[in-house]
Structure 1
């Protein structure tokens, strides 16, 4: 197995591949971040909070598997459907990006044992790919909401 190539590909996909997640989030209009479309139970703000909570739990596991074995806690869905200010929206995106870069640094670090199975049966590579999958799913929802609201 070419472990360097695997690390490189996981990192590229975590960044969002051809549609980087951070750019998408920064393009999303703050003024529309709290809109809940008919038939949905979430806004862009709620999705961002949910994405961040899941990413944070998995990042904690990646940083210290022995003390953060609960990699899939109950889903966090923020109760408030919109940020109070543009500053709060921007700060949440900044924090998402900072944590995402930390995930990527862990994956890229050749000293990280990507495939070592931890006591909870999971590995660092599993956590990274779970972030990738989970975020991709919800970024797709966010993109759809944005299209419906005329963001793109």
Structure 2
């Protein structure tokens, strides 16, 4: 892969991590915090639980990218936070923290000094980590969007 191709791939990964044509941060900020703790019939999660779960997985992969030399379990048992009805400040703080973590991962992905394809001691590389995060986040953001539609957020 030449320099231009690698640059293009890094930019594409960064754009997809941000959410592509539907940025995750915008979607989360549009979600009415007063409905974030509602669990619809037939589901075991609310928007609040989904945001906490997304962040927990994201943090694991971010730690791997920041400290690849550490033995980090990249797929620990799923972390599903306890549900409650967050206040506006708590909801916004969680989104702010997620946005900061997301920006940190995007900066790593875009940094040409970061070896995106180099296998680390656990056999994984940073491009795999970024793609896993965007796949996992996309799946759960889709669920969050569906919950929001059912609750009349959009």
Name the TM tier (shorter chain).
over 0.9
Aligned equivalent of 1:142: 144
Pick the aligned partner of 1:65 from 65, 68, 80: 68
Pick the aligned partner of 2:116 from 93, 100, 114: 114
Q: TM-score, normalised by structure 1?
A: 0.97
Instruction: Encode CA deviations 1:69-126: one digit per residue, 9 max, x unaligned.
Output: 311111100012432x211110000000000000000000000000011111111111
For the aligned residue pairs, the C-alpha RMSD in angstroms reads 0.8
* Contact persistence 2:34–2:85 (CA under 8 A): no
Q: Which runs of 5+ in 1 are unaligned?
A: none
The answer as to 2:96 corresponding to 1:94 is: yes
Pick the aligned partner of 1:25 from 23, 28, 31: 28
Q: Aligned-pair distance for 1:50?
A: 0.1
Aligned equivalent of 1:75: 78
Q: Which runs of 4+ in 1 moved over 6 A?
A: none
Instruction: Encode CA deviations 1:16-72: one digit per residue, 9 max, x unaligned.
Output: 000000000000000100000000000000000000000000000000111143111
Pick the aligned partner of 2:40 from 37, 48, 55: 37
Aligned equivalent of 2:16: 13
Aligned equivalent of 1:51: 54
Q: TM-score, normalised by structure 2?
A: 0.96
Distance in structure 2 (CA, Å) of the matches to 1:96 and 1:35: 21
